[in-house]
Structure 1
């Protein structure tokens, strides 16, 4: 019987029959009409006061007036401080070759924008010349290269597995060990693919076993790398998993050589080969009964995806494949494997966390630095980026979280994850940090004794960028001190350079923590110089950018009166939000803990309050983020 407070579904009501209620009701279930079992929504009468209605009408009118209001003085001031170029940015690295695209998301492009902001003179992009040339590699590929002794070969394989293999699943430990033993026993019977894979592993092993300068003996592993590259002279029509592994290994080593375009191309090629083989799809168990082989296929596909995304983020280029095109299962813990095979697939949680960060990197690059006309406002994109980053951090397993006082004892995999996390947060916010610097310089240019009217929202985002850079710098210093920062490592060197540029800008803004940032900037610059002197190709390029910026920093500090302690990154007349005023931001900065991590920086109440505000609070950035004309080369 239908009660008074439970109406009949629309079908029973139309047929004028009793309805049993429920979802679906018995009548619709028996008639196989469950999709038509819909109940009418009950219109409830709610009593409200007349004053409540008047308040709603008044608030609606106020919002309409504010949405149609012309830009205020604050917006007009910031609109004079553009940051990024709206048109593609090309430089002529060589007059005989096609101009090279410089993506705004790259660290070197940001360093150039920083120099351009500090000086009224035009400063072109410094060309990247610190890498072995194609001619050098071709010459070495045809030269004789002796096979290492068995003891040396075992050492190099272990070093490669403990180095790059700790963070990326590219080769199976058990398989590469077996291939090495077979090759040692009968070198002449080893196939070309196996030899090339071992050459590539030897090259990476040399990187992780060399602790001295490469200036006298040459770059470690370069000869092995060139021999492994011979396999690429013919594009295989029937690719194999071995070929995907080789291209990924060569891609990683290319980064050590600072051949970033080559690394990006090789990673993209590995993705294409994996797609041709169907690695992006789950293979039926009936066609591949070995659980270890199935898991290796899955993980190698995700590694190709991850490296392609990460290399693309470093350069600011598009990725080779969309995430929704990969349907293969995420890394798992396969059952039924023996002890040796089980060691091939450690810590699925770490692998999944890195995959998710790789996905975020692609979204942030495309969102923040994209040029499509139909993209949402920058304020919306920044909010989305921070929401994604905070969600990733919240879902991170406890074993991979950072316990600040114990950062020095942090597992290298956890440190690598958090450095990448920091880098993504920096990528999302450093255009705004540069925007704030431009605003201060422009204000002092117009009237020396005035402060820029920078909204508190921009200050809060800029401070988050700086705090993430501080945390990265501290992690890298700890790694340097405990000996896990390899002299030829590209990844840590790039993170160090990225943090150094942000800290350099912070020293110009004259905040209360300026002295701390100046010390960290000096330490980071010293590390880059030592890495350069040790033969690190990337450090040589990055130090050149820092050296060029340092020649302009003293002049910029004088313009901003930083030496006198008068400049402030938080203007006293900033009134964008009553809850984000100058006093509260300065207080938050003054009580910042020495052990603050990037995660706690993103969880700052002031920043969370900012990101929870309506979007118009950040609209001042949208109209002033782009340069009207292309920058000079």
Structure 2
């Protein structure tokens, strides 16, 4: 018994020494054990030193990022995946240790529950026949170009019946038309007139009210309506609502067996069977992509899906227009699956048996394989097979965003290492070429996205209230803001592109785009932080004017950095060009990446998040936030 007390005393003394060690301050939230225990919900660190020396198996208890709120009953969970969170981490990375840390900016720009509830109680007039046809055509064009939700022939037939006989149709069919009216008005509007509601919001409220009572037996029509409402909710910047609706659609689809093949003997109509398969593909895409934007889990995994992918099935000529090229939907489904897996592997700090750098490497391999399997007619330089064919720009923008999500943790760690050397380069931790190669890929994807979005802006295909293009724009400009501080040869050009993209985002915000209004708060805060950081690092830039790289010049030469980052965006046949650079190809072939400095940093930071500890004392209200705070 006495021996046991002595051993316990030694163990507690060791823990006390760890907590009083200044170097271990960032590990204050860790639970340390010398042996793994499957019963503990802890995280295993597999840093190179631990793996090679096998001296201990340290268990880390992950602490999520919650932000206290004065107007909520419970603190708000802030995930590390959203673009707004990355913007906050970026500002925190370039703040001095002695300064008041930058706080996360609340999301307050979205359609409120109260306004939608008010509209559900108000009467909403059915649009005139010409207006109804116009809105449905607009909705089908914008929705069907990327997703398969409804069948055109069925919708148009229902619309004509409802026009000629207002009392015709079941409530779900009319509800579906209300949802299409909302999306049609959303994409046809250029701005919000004074005193008017957000485009399509009254139609959306009407459809939401009609679907307020869920049927005990789900139907295809109900799933289609939920998808339309989920899609429109993103434009309202109601991301949580959209994610909830997407998950609801998955569960309804599972209940009626959309995730399974149905025998032709039981459902002879080939068009109906193909619609089921494609609707399931869209259901998975929505659930996984919406979840990845929030860093949340998807509702269903691949192992539970046993239905055939979309195909170019042989159907009657009268309904052939209901089904577009299946290759686009297959590629989009595969990309959504890769993105969902990537978010779980890279950003989920639990149950990880490999280092962050190796997980990033594996994700880039998966994305490279996706590029290699992409049909040639889905490349951006492919000649359209008809004048009406839509360029697969959204698919490439989605790919770029997935690559950015996979690589920007490395980008942020490199920036953090770089910022630690300000204002003098002495003592800076060298950054290996492998890390800079991944950083270069991240920056190239951001530049390519901005190039594509600028082209869309010029040719008029960038709709004012398009949530996806707006989010891609904000994500790209944030990466370029980081790149502008890394002293590469294109740092000045990236800062100019950041300012240019900020101008486009400001125009969207002025037009009434909810997401742009939120993003502009972060842009204003980033501008203030970048200006402050630039003044801190002038000494570095002045001392290293000949190289522009400071202490990084000894790790990756200016010529190599320029070669890896200045690949011309013009002429890129596909977004995957960012992953075909020789330096990155060599990197992906390596069995082990020399990025111990990053994995060691993650060891210090896992206790509070992917990047570094958050500040649990931060408190905000919508009224108290100011730029730079």
Question: Equivalent of 1:247, from 226, 231, 239?
Answer: 226
101-110 or 243-252, which deviates more: 101-110
Secondary structure of 2:480's counterpart equals helix
1:361 aligned to 2:339? yes
* Cα distance per residue 1:23-42 (max 9 Å; x no partner): xxxxxxxxxxxxxxxxxxxx
Shift in Å, 1:449: 5.6
1:106 aligned to 2:82? yes
Question: Equivalent of 1:184, from 147, 163, 171?
Answer: 163
* Cα distance per residue 1:536-557 (max 9 Å; x no partner): 0000001110111111111111
Q: 1:569 to 1:220 in 2, by over 3 A?
A: farther
* Contact 2:79 2:85 (8 Å CA) reproduced: yes
Question: Equivalent of 1:491, from 465, 468, 473?
Answer: 468
Corresponding residue for residue 445 of structure 2: 468
Q: 1:547 to 1:572 in 2, by over 3 A?
A: closer
1:343 aligned to 2:321? yes
Q: How many residues align?
A: 549
Secondary structure of 1:341's counterpart equals helix
Shift in Å, 1:92: 3.0
Shift in Å, 1:326: 1.3
* Contact 1:85 1:631 (8 Å CA) reproduced: no
CA RMSD of aligned residues (A): 2.6
1:156 aligned to 2:123? no
| 1:114-263 aligned within 5 A | 114-120=90-96, 121-263=100-242
Shift in Å, 1:571: 3.9
1:97 aligned to 2:73? yes
623-632 or 498-507, which deviates more: 623-632
Find the aligned partners of 2:420 and 2:297 in 1 and give their Cα distance: 34
Q: 1:492 to 1:214 in 2, by over 3 A?
A: farther
Find the aligned partners of 1:583 and 1:551 in 2 and give their Cα distance: 28
Secondary structure of 1:623's counterpart equals helix
Find the aligned partners of 2:82 and 2:311 in 1 and give their Cα distance: 33
Corresponding residue for residue 408 of structure 2: 430
Shift in Å, 1:224: 0.1
* Contact 2:541 2:548 (8 Å CA) reproduced: no
Corresponding residue for residue 588 of structure 2: 611
* Contact 1:131 1:257 (8 Å CA) reproduced: yes
Shift in Å, 1:185: 1.7
434-443 or 253-262, which deviates more: 434-443
Corresponding residue for residue 376 of structure 1: 354
Shift in Å, 1:600: 1.9
* Contact 2:380 2:391 (8 Å CA) reproduced: no
Q: Under a length normalisation based on structure 2, what TM-score does the superposition of the two structures give?
A: 0.83
Find the aligned partners of 2:180 and 2:582 in 1 and give their Cα distance: 47
Corresponding residue for residue 557 of structure 2: 582
Find the aligned partners of 1:619 and 1:522 in 2 and give their Cα distance: 34
Shift in Å, 1:189: 3.0
1:288 aligned to 2:267? yes
Corresponding residue for residue 492 of structure 2: 515
Shift in Å, 1:69: 11
* Contact 1:459 1:570 (8 Å CA) reproduced: no
* Contact 2:377 2:383 (8 Å CA) reproduced: no
Corresponding residue for residue 614 of structure 2: 631
Secondary structure of 1:187's counterpart equals coil
Shift in Å, 1:103: 1.1
Corresponding residue for residue 8 of structure 2: none
Shift in Å, 1:151: 0.5
Shift in Å, 1:521: 0.6
595-604 or 565-574, which deviates more: 565-574
Q: Which runs of 5+ in 1 are unaligned?
A: 1-62, 71-83, 576-580
Q: 1:382 to 1:569 in 2, by over 3 A?
A: farther
Corresponding residue for residue 247 of structure 2: 268
* Cα distance per residue 1:316-341 (max 9 Å; x no partner): 11001112211111101121x22231
Secondary structure of 2:167's counterpart equals helix
Find the aligned partners of 2:397 and 2:412 in 1 and give their Cα distance: 21
Q: Which runs of 5+ in 2 are unaligned?
A: 1-47, 619-629
Corresponding residue for residue 593 of structure 1: 568
Q: 1:590 to 1:441 in 2, by over 3 A?
A: closer
Shift in Å, 1:88: 1.0
Corresponding residue for residue 500 of structure 1: 477
Find the aligned partners of 1:118 and 1:155 in 2 and give their Cα distance: 50
Find the aligned partners of 1:563 and 1:504 in 2 and give their Cα distance: 17
Find the aligned partners of 1:213 and 1:196 in 2 and give their Cα distance: 24
Shift in Å, 1:499: 0.3
Find the aligned partners of 1:559 and 1:89 in 2 and give their Cα distance: 28
* Cα distance per residue 1:431-474 (max 9 Å; x no partner): 111111111111225x4566542111111111111110000000
* Contact 1:454 1:574 (8 Å CA) reproduced: no
